[in-house]
């Protein structure tokens, strides 16, 4: 998941299925995960304690921990504190959306720095389907484009390992800021299973939601409820409206997080 503006999300749960109940709890889980960073202790892999010993034996960490805590002791709790503080520092507020909001002081009206398509996309994003929009705003809330608490899934249910096995528990999305980098490359693939490689594939999903195998689709994504149960949302967006929605999403990308040296690799000049 992208880590931008994590500190401004209403949810304090992390991971797609919200299995970590705080950022501190989240940050060391990928280190211990056997298929991620591997300090799992499984099948002869090093343990988390091996990592703590390795860090304690590294000169510059002794200096840095001493500087922060007054002694050089490295514990999981201290790593959690330091890593989560670093993640919270990753903030982006220099997108064209931010410029537009600053200029108008109101997210509603057309932004003067947007072209017609971008303003149309903003309207579609922030307006419910009943009122001619795409309803994204009901779950992804501006100005952070953070996901709301207490929603069900969005219909993307296939698991990575086996597309015929379904997982209905993914209810968390990162902020929709920085879906693409300033050069227009996607910071993806998108969704918990990486199933969409382009913004258009993602928009097509929401445009027409297939009810096959759905169990916990959020009712916000029902078109209606027929005699045989709910019917998935059919937005019937025109091609130019799909493009407008995508053009709007591209305005949520900033520059600073890609160029500011404070988030660069400290070991490379």
Q: Which is nearer to ligand HEC, 123 or 206 (CB)?
A: 206
> Closest separation between CB of residue 156 and ligand HEC, Å?
4
Q: Which is nearer to ligand HEC, 79 or 190 (CB)?
A: 190
- Contact residues for ligand HEC, defined by CB under 6 A: 2, 16, 134-136, 138-140, 147, 151, 153-154, 156, 170-171, 173-174, 176, 179, 190-192, 202, 206, 218, 220-221, 245
Integer Cα distance of 208 and 233 in angstroms: 6
Q: Which is nearer to ligand HEC, 135 or 254 (CB)?
A: 135
Residues 72 and 64: beta-carbon distance below 8 Å: no
Cβ-based neighbours of 132, under 8 Å, separated by 6 or more:
none
Angle at 186 between CA 188 and CA 90, to 5 degrees: 75
Q: Which is nearer to ligand HEC, 47 or 213 (CB)?
A: 213
Cβ-based neighbours of 136, under 8 Å, separated by 6 or more:
124, 125, 126, 206, 245
> Closest separation between CB of residue 150 and ligand HEC, Å?
10
> Closest separation between CB of residue 48 and ligand HEC, Å?
28
* CA nearest neighbour of 176 among 256, 86, 253: 253
* CA nearest neighbour of 82 among 55, 54, 59: 55
> Closest separation between CB of residue 139 and ligand HEC, Å?
3
Q: Which is nearer to ligand HEC, 51 or 179 (CB)?
A: 179
> Closest separation between CB of residue 165 and ligand HEC, Å?
14
Longest dimension (CA), the chain: 69
């Amino acid at each position: 998941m992208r880590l931008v503006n994590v500190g401004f999300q209403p949810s304090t749960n992390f991971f797609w299925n919200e299995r970590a109940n705080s950022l501190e709890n989240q940050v060391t889980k990928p280190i211990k995960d056997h298929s991620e960073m591997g300090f799992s202790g499984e099948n002869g892999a090093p343990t988390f304690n091996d990592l703590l010993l390795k860090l304690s034996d590294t000169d510059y960490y002794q200096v840095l921990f001493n500087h922060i805590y007054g002694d050089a002791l490295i514990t999981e709790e201290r790593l959690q504190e330091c890593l989560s503080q670093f993640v919270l520092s990753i903030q982006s507020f220099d997108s064209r959306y931010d410029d537009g909001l600053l200029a108008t002081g109101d997210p509603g009206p057309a932004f003067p720095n947007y072209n017609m398509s971008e303003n149309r996309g903003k309207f579609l994003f922030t307006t419910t389907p009943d009122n001619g929009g795409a309803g994204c705003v009901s779950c992804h809330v501006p100005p952070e484009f953070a996901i709301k608490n207490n929603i069900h899934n969005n219909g993307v249910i296939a698991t990575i390992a086996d597309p015929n096995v379904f997982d209905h528990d993914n209810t968390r999305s990162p902020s929709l800021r920085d879906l693409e980098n300033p050069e227009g490359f996607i910071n993806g693939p998108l969704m918990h299973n990486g199933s969409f490689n382009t913004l258009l594939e993602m928009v097509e999903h929401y445009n027409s939601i297939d009810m096959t195998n759905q169990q916990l689709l959020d009712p916000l994504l029902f078109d209606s409820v027929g005699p045989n149960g709910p019917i998935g949302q059919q937005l019937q967006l025109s091609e130019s409206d799909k493009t407008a929605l995508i053009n709007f999403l591209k305005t949520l990308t900033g520059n600073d997080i890609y160029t500011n040296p404070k988030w660069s690799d400290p070991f490379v000049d």
